[in-house]
């Protein structure tokens, strides 16, 4: 396999490297030499942390007010401008990565290969289609590769063990296409949904926001779990839409996934079926969720969940 030079986008909040970056590094190292781009403002600590990630051979730091909030309209031209020196650009398939990478692909006039699950060759990848029911093997013949990585499919690179230099670069700055107005960041003591080791998710059966809170949250708190939901629960307003697990929500693969009052529609399974152990609580013994559950409890959740919570 010819060694490529790969540019990765480091996801961060100007203070710390986000976990999704570590899986991205693992995927990128399978292609070649990995150079990490940290774009932000006041994010020197992020660049220093990125330089410690095992497998990263160089860090580029671009600091500018235009990059402070990771606006894709500003970050994408910065990346596209650097790509003359790289064979591939790789970003995590997170909300932000999925915002930036297609813009980079468009600016380079190449296609994007989305949500790769594995690297099969220098230009050959597997990726899910039909909500994960078919795994396609795809080859790109474009002159530059633009990839997003399904982060649950790759092990996380060690955050320490590397030690490389940080090089400061300048970028084109504000593209004048969008401006930052504000951010409402949900703050929670609970682990983040996509990186939690245990996830408790509730479905339509939880009835309303107050019941969801009263039944699901105590169990999640006892287990130190992240909280997720089906789309039906989100659409009915029980929880905000960043809780949604599934094809049009978040993809999770925790050690333990507990589905409470969730039927197991394929669009939901697409977001959680790679979880190591799946536990389902549902009063309908024919619910499709039981076909993929490792442990199934046919019970009324309003009795079973408080019981379980009390026993933990
Ligand atoms: C294009 C598209 C994209 C979609 N994307 C997503 C997605 O990303 N994520 C997602 O989740 N869905 C998604 N959906 C919706 C999906 O098809 C289902 O409608 C949804 O997942 C159903 O949610 P649910 O399981 O909570 O509700 P339901 O299917 O209504 O299931 C509720 C379950 O609760 C059980 N139940 C009821 N009362 C109790 C009780 N007292 N105790 C125990 N069990 C009880 C019932 O037996 C039932 O199995 C998508 C659909 C489309 C068309």
From first to last of the 312 residues of the chain, give the pLDDT tens digit: 458 999 999 999 999 999 999 999 999 999 999 999 999 999 999 999 999 999 999 999 999 999 999 999 999 999 999 999 999 999 999 999 999 999 999 999 999 999 999 999 999 999 999 888 899 999 999 999 999 999 999 999 999 998 899 999 999 999 999 999 998 887 788 998 998 999 999 999 999 999 999 999 999 999 999 999 999 999 999 999 999 999 999 999 999 999 999 999 999 999 999 999 999 999 999 999 999 999 999 999 999 999 999 999
Residue 268: inside a domain, yes or no?
yes
Domain containing 243 equals: 193-311
- Tokens found for residue 296: 């199934």
Cβ–Cβ contacts within 10 Å for residue 240, how many?
12
State the Cα–Cα distance between residues 300 and 208, nearest whole angstrom.
16
Q: Are residues 124 and 24 in the same domain?
A: yes
Give the 3-state DSSP-derived string for 94-114, with helices as H, strands as E and coil as C: CHHHHHHHHHHHHHHCCCEEE
Angle between helix 209-223 and helix 301-311 axes, rounded to 10 deg: 30
Cβ–Cβ contacts within 10 Å for residue 312, how many?
10
| pLDDT recorded at residue 188 | 81
Q: Are residues 135 and 28 in the same domain?
A: yes
Residue 186: inside a domain, yes or no?
no
What CATH number is given to the structural domain containing 256?
3.40.50.1220
State the Cα–Cα distance between residues 97 and 91, nearest whole angstrom.
5
Does residue 187 sit in helix, strand or coil?
coil
Residue 179: inside a domain, yes or no?
no
Residue 111: inside a domain, yes or no?
yes
Q: Is the CB of 203 under 6 A from ligand 1?
A: yes
Check if the beta carbon of residue 168 is closer than 8 Å to that of residue 51.
no
Which among 169, 185, 220 is the end of a domain?
A: 169
Q: Are residues 36 and 129 in the same domain?
A: yes
| pLDDT recorded at residue 187 | 78
Q: Are residues 156 and 214 in the same domain?
A: no
Q: Provide the CB-side half-sphere exposure for 89 (13 A, CA).
A: 32
Domain count for the chain: 2
Q: Could you tell which of 261, 273, 293, 301 is best to mutate to test the pocket of ligand 1, judged by most ligand atoms within 8 Å of the CB?
A: 261
Q: Which candidate, 63, 99, 68, places its Cα nearest to that of 179?
A: 68
Q: Are residues 152 and 283 in the same domain?
A: no
Q: Is the CB of 94 under 6 A from ligand 1?
A: no
Residue 145: inside a domain, yes or no?
yes
State the Cα–Cα distance between residues 6 and 14, nearest whole angstrom.
22
Q: Are residues 47 and 148 in the same domain?
A: yes
Q: Are residues 76 and 123 in the same domain?
A: yes
Which residue has its alpha carbon closest to ligand 1 atom 14?
267
Give distance in angstroms: CA of 27 to centre of ligand 1.
33
Q: Are residues 148 and 271 in the same domain?
A: no
Q: Are residues 148 and 247 in the same domain?
A: no
The CA angle 247-253-254, to the nearest 5 degrees, is: 135
| pLDDT recorded at residue 58 | 97
DSSP calls for 179-227: ----------SSPPTTT-SEEEEE-GGG-SHHHHHHHHHHHHHHHT-EE
Ligand 1 atom, smallest distance to 203 CA: 26
| pLDDT recorded at residue 185 | 80
Q: Is the CB of 282 under 6 A from ligand 1?
A: yes
Check if the beta carbon of residue 220 is closer than 8 Å to that of residue 278.
no
Give distance in angstroms: CA of 2 to centre of ligand 1.
46
Give distance in angstroms: CA of 202 to centre of ligand 1.
9
Q: Which candidate, 151, 157, 26, places its Cα nearest to that of 98?
A: 151
Residue 176: inside a domain, yes or no?
no
The dihedrals phi and psi of 289, each to the nearest 5 degrees, come to -60, -30
What CATH number is given to the structural domain containing 22?
3.40.50.620
Q: Are residues 25 and 108 in the same domain?
A: yes
Q: Are residues 136 and 217 in the same domain?
A: no
Give distance in angstroms: CA of 230 to centre of ligand 1.
6
Give distance in angstroms: CA of 146 to centre of ligand 1.
34
Residue 257: inside a domain, yes or no?
yes
Q: Are residues 78 and 199 in the same domain?
A: no
| pLDDT recorded at residue 133 | 87
């Amino acid at each position: 396999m010819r060694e490529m030079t790969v540019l990765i986008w480091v996801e961060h909040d100007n203070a710390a490297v986000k976990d999704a970056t570590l899986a991205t590094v693992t995927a990128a190292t399978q292609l070649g030499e990995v150079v990490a781009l940290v774009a932000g403002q006041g994010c020197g600590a992020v660049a220093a942390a990125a330089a410690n990630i095992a497998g990263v051979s160089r860090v580029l730091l671009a600091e500018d007010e235009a990059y402070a909030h990771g606006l894709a309209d500003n970050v994408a031209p910065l990346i596209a401008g650097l790509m003359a020196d790289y064979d591939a650009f790789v970003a995590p398939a997170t909300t932000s990565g999925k915002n930036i990478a297609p813009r980079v692909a468009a600016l380079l006039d190449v296609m994007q290969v989305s949500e790769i699950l594995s690297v099969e060759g220098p230009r050959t990848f597997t990726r899910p289609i039909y909500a994960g029911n078919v795994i396609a093997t795809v080859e790109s013949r474009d002159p530059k590769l633009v990839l997003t990585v399904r982060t649950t499919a790759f092990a996380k690179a060690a955050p320490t063990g590397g030690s490389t230099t940080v090089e400061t670069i300048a970028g084109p700055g504000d593209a004048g296409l969008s401006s930052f107005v504000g951010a409402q960041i949900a703050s929670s003591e609970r682990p983040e949904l996509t990186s939690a080791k245990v996830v408790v998710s509730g479905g339509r059966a939880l009835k309303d926001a107050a019941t969801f809170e009263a039944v699901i949250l105590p169990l999640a708190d006892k287990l130190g779990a992240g909280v997720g939901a089906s789309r039906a629960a989100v659409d009915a307003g029980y929880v905000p839409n960043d809780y949604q697990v599934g094809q049009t929500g978040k993809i999770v693969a925790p050690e333990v996934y507990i589905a409470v009052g969730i039927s197991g529609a394929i669009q939901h399974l697409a977001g959680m079926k790679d979880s190591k152990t799946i536990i389902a609580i549902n009063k309908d013994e024919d619910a499709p969720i039981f076909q993929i559950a490792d442990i199934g409890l046919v019970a009324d959740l309003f009795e079973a969940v408080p019981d379980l919570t009390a026993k933990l």
